[in-house]
Each structure stands twice: as C-alpha cells, then as structure tokens.
Amino acid sequence: MSPNFIGSAIRAFPPVRRRYGRSRLQVLVAGVIVSGVILFGYLGYVVSISLIQKGRETKTSQACIQHEVILVRAMLRYVRDYDNTFPAASTWCDSLRPYVADEGVFVCPLAPALRCGYAFNSAYSGIRYEPGRDNDKFVVIFESDGGWNASGGRELLPRKPRHHGVVFFGFLAGYVAGFPSSSFSELEWGPLPTGEFGGGIR
C-alpha cells in the first residue's frame, strides 16, 4: 500500500476525536446561550413583579393620604359651621359623616377591616379653634387601629406602621405628612394652652 493512498484515506476520513471536540464545544456554547436567556428572563420577571408591587404600594399610600386630607378638611368645615368648635372626641366620626361624600374615606386601603382607620387627637375635643395662631403645627387626625370614633394621642398609633415604616398625620393647615417612628417626637399633640384655645369637652 503506497504512502499516497494512506494520505488520501486520512484526508477523506478525519479523526473522530476532532469532530467530537467541535460538537462538544457547540453544545457547550448553546447551553451557555440558553442559560443566559433563562437567567435574563427570570431577572426581568423579578424586576417586573417588584415594580408592579411598588406601584401598587405607592397607589395605596396616595389613597390613604387623600382620605386623610378629606377628613382634615371636613373637620375644618365642621369647625367653621359650629362656631369654631371641634366635635366631641367620642363622636367625631359621626360628626364628620355629613361632611364627606362617601364613608369609604374613613377607611385606610391597607386596613380595610376597620370601619375607620384613623383617630382624632382628643386634645381638640370640643375646644374653640382660633385661626391665625401657631396651632397649624398640631396633629388633628392620624392613622390608628382604634376603629370608629377612636380618639386619643400617641397611644393609638398603629402597632405596625402600614406604609413601609411611615405613619401619616393630618394637620390643621389642611395637609398630611408621613413620619417614621424615629420622628414621632417632633410632632405637636398638645394639650393646647387654654388661654389661647378656651376650654372644651374632654
């Protein structure tokens, strides 16, 4: 058998080992590509779910703020109609009910089981309000688990803040702001000076 014949046979039939190595590399590359697609798809899914959840939480927080703003403004309308006097703490929800279009504004979206998810600062119960003084910094309505006609002070704050560690408070100036528990000491609750605000029902 001539050397030329042997060379021709080798060229016609390449070593199996060489073909197998190339195939294994192709399979490896394909596996990496598929794994990458799966990984990026999973990451995209996780990010999408996170964004959707964050959007829902933001929406519920905005709804809670809106409800509390409505209640604060309803309180101020009540005060204006009743000779600048706040309602009695024991019936404040009943007193404000005619001033809101829907009883649903008393409900916090994150505490739907409560007929009212807010409380009234009892330091204002039945006292006269004198606009123009430095009383707009005082808390008048705040989030609470106390239910309908709940009234009091710090002791009625939710055991667990509903909005990522933040509790919303309504002020006499007609706005609502959120505070973490570490900032509760900055809030003004009263008791209010009787010389400025007059006596009231306790």
7 pLDDT more than 60:
no
Rounded to whole angstroms, the Cα distance separating 201 from 181 reads 30
Closest CA to 157 of 166, 149, 69, 87: 166
Return the residue matching tokens 């007059």: 198
Closest CA to 170 of 17, 65, 29, 92: 65
Q: What is the mean pLDDT of the chain?
A: 78
For residue range 38-84, what is the model confidence (pLDDT) as tens digits? Answer: 665 555 544 444 434 444 556 678 999 999 999 999 999 999 999 99
What value, to the nearest 5°, has the Cα angle with vertex 181 and ends 128 and 55?
100
8 pLDDT more than 80:
no
Higher local confidence (pLDDT), 189 or 59: 189
Strand order in the sheet with 151-152: 151-152, 118-121, 139-143, 166-171, 176-180
Q: Which two tokens stand for residue 64?
A: 């809670």
Query: pTM for the whole thing?
Result: 0.67
Closest CA to 143 of 158, 131, 124: 158
Closest CA to 191 of 133, 95, 125: 125
Helical (H) or strand (E) element with 177: strand 176-180
